[in-house]
């Protein structure tokens, strides 16, 4: 079994590994115990719950799920952290992990003893289960960004899906020369940091980052200025729809669904919306996808969203809870859900499933595209003050997009100064 450190270090390069079926601890040491799970409302988690019978029969453990809608989830987790005792296992979104660090129990030795293969998790997801150098949660739900595109419009323009952001501009202009569609739909307006998600990929691709190793803001570096100038330049290049300066993510998605834009970088879970006849004018034959473009000469990246599951510090059934967590995070369970013809679940956080031939055959190669991005994606570092930081950053980007500010370096310097004051 690999150490936690080495597992995370190599996670991004692992692909094609076989998914081994989970095995219960011999002797049913936790028979008769109950594990209560606090989970955000999700059809993926409901699919896991529907498969509990095998786990319960093999272990003698009863599992009870309690679902909370996303808008109420942070409050429910905070209440559990303060009062404690109601839940044994909880699901926590990446941006909340730091502020809830008193909620979850370190589980590294237990996961190693149970044979959980940490190297099968991409580093960009795995990092969110680490806190103060200890494993406190395992990824179960994770989202990546993909570049969705109109296959018919790219074909008509004689171009292929762009591999770099530089190629994206050329592709967008070629599409606009041969159709009435805008080249690409992007969000520049303020809403929950949505205008940062492509910007961060440009930042990383230019060799920059949001913070240095000491937590000081460095996005106002030369790399940050170059990334921001590039992102804002797409407005001046007129390859985005009119009004994009105030677009939020859903506006960009709607533009693509209505046939008004030819490319769209967005979360993979949006895929089902793009060809839903009740929401979209597009058909499945028209829509393709690939990994996000990279900055020329740089590795691919993707902003990620990760939900980790951990064992609560106040649990009276920690052994049973870790046994359940080893089952919940087994790649065979995830694969079973991905291939279930009665379900439409695309979420995968194991490289073995992301690169699996059958999974990709069912989903048209979507998971391999995600794997291509995740193989070299480090992910984002979040802290307690991330919501305030994101607001400052998205305000700077929005002001530059709207023309309220025209000095990129000055806007980033001011944002860095404001962020440094609250850290």
Residues in CB range of 410: below 8 A, 6 or more apart: none
Residues in CB range of 367: below 8 A, 6 or more apart: 338, 346, 348, 353, 354, 355, 356, 359, 360
The rounded Cα 128 to chain-centroid distance in angstroms is 11
Judge whether 372 lies within some domain.
no
What DSSP string describes 374-401? HTT-------TTHHHHHHHHHHHHHHHH
* 248-279 pLDDT, tens digit each: 999 999 999 999 999 999 999 999 999 999 99
Q: Which two tokens stand for residue 364?
A: 């048209």
Do residue 245 and residue 266 come from a single domain?
yes
Do residue 413 and residue 277 come from a single domain?
yes
Alpha helices in 12-107 (DSSP H): 43-49, 52-59, 70-83
Do residue 100 and residue 13 come from a single domain?
yes
Ramachandran angles phi, psi of 279, nearest 5°: -120, -20
Residues in CB range of 350: below 8 A, 6 or more apart: 19, 120, 121, 331, 334, 335
**pLDDT > 70 in the chain, percent:** 95
Do residue 163 and residue 29 come from a single domain?
no
The residue behind tokens 């979104």 is 93
**More confident call, 334 vs 16:** 334
Q: What is the mean pLDDT of the chain?
A: 94
Q: Which two tokens stand for residue 357?
A: 């031939």
What is the residue range of 260's domain? Answer: 145-302+385-420
Do residue 95 and residue 124 come from a single domain?
yes
pLDDT, position 378 = 86
Judge whether 379 lies within some domain.
no
* 132-147 pLDDT, tens digit each: 999 999 999 999 999 9
Q: What is the CATH number of the domain that holds 89?
A: 3.40.190.10
Task: Count how many domains the chain has.
Answer: 2
* 349-361 pLDDT, tens digit each: 999 999 999 999 9
Do residue 283 and residue 346 come from a single domain?
no
| pLDDT classification of 414: cutoffs 50, 70, 90 | very high
Judge whether 157 lies within some domain.
yes
Distance CA 311, CA 103 (A): 8
Do residue 257 and residue 397 come from a single domain?
yes
Outline where DSSP puts E strands in 241-304.
263-267, 287-291
pLDDT, position 260 = 98
Distance CA 323, CA 319 (A): 6
Ramachandran angles phi, psi of 135, nearest 5°: -80, 120
Ramachandran angles phi, psi of 223, nearest 5°: -65, -40
Residue 29: HSE in the Cβ half-sphere, 13 Å Cα cutoff: 11
* 143-200 pLDDT, tens digit each: 999 999 999 999 999 999 999 999 999 999 999 999 999 999 999 999 999 999 999 9
pLDDT, position 21 = 75
Residue 278: HSE in the Cβ half-sphere, 13 Å Cα cutoff: 1
Q: How many CB atoms lie within 10 A of CB 6?
A: 11
* 207-236 pLDDT, tens digit each: 999 999 999 999 999 999 999 999 999 999
Alpha carbon separation from 155 to 42, 100, 180, 286, 421 (Å, rounded): 37, 49, 14, 10, 50
* 61-104 pLDDT, tens digit each: 999 999 999 999 999 999 999 999 999 999 999 999 999 989 99
In residues, how long is the chain? Answer: 423
Do residue 255 and residue 391 come from a single domain?
yes
């Amino acid at each position: 079994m690999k150490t936690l450190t080495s597992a995370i270090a190599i996670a991004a390069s692992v692909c094609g590994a076989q998914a081994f079926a989970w095995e219960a601890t011999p002797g049913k040491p936790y028979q008769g115990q109950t594990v209560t799970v606090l989970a955000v409302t999700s059809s993926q988690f409901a699919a896991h719950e529907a498969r509990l019978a095998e786990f319960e029969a093999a272990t003698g453990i009863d599992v009870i799920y309690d679902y909370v809608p996303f808008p109420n989830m942070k409050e429910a987790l905070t209440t559990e952290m303060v009062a404690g005792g109601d839940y044994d296992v909880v699901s926590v979104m990446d941006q909340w992990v730091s502020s809830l660090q008193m909620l979850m129990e370190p589980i590294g030795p237990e996961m190693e003893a149970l044979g959980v293969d940490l190297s099968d998790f991409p580093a960009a997801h795995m990092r969110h289960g680490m806190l103060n150098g200890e494993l406190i949660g395992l990824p179960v739900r994770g989202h990546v960004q993909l570049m969705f595109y109109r296959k018919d419009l790219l074909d008509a323009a004689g171009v292929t899906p762009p591999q770099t952001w530089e190629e994206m501009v050329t592709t967008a202009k070629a599409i606009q020369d041969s159709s009435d569609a805008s080249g690409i739909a992007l969000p520049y307006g303020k809403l929950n940091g949505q205008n940062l998600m492509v910007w961060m990929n440009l930042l990383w691709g230019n060799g920059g980052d949001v913070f240095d190793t000491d937590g000081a803001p460095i996005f106002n570096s030369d790399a940050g200025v170059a990334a921001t100038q590039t992102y804002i330049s797409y407005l001046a290049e007129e390859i985005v729809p009119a009004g994009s300066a105030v677009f939020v993510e859903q506006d960009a998605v709607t533009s693509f669904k209505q046939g008004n834009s030819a490319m769209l970088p967005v979360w993979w879970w949006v895929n089902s919306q793009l060809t839903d006849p009740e929401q979209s004018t597009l058909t499945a034959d028209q829509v393709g996808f690939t990994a996000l473009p990279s900055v020329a000469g740089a590795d691919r990246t993707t902003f990620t969203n990760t939900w980790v599951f951990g064992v609560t510090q106040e649990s009276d059934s920690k052994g049973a809870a870790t046994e359940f967590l080893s089952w919940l995070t087994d790649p065979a369970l995830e694969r079973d859900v991905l291939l279930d013809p009665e379900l439409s679940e695309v979420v995968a956080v194991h490289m073995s499933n992301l690169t699996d031939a059958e999974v990709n055959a069912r989903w048209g190669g979507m998971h391999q595209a995600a794997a291509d991005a995740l193989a070299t994606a480090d992910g984002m570092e979040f802290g307690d003050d991330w919501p305030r930081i994101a607001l400052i950053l998205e305000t700077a980007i929005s002001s530059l997009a709207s023309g309220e500010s025209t000095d990129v370096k000055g806007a980033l310097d001011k944002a860095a100064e404001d962020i440094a004051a609250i850290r």
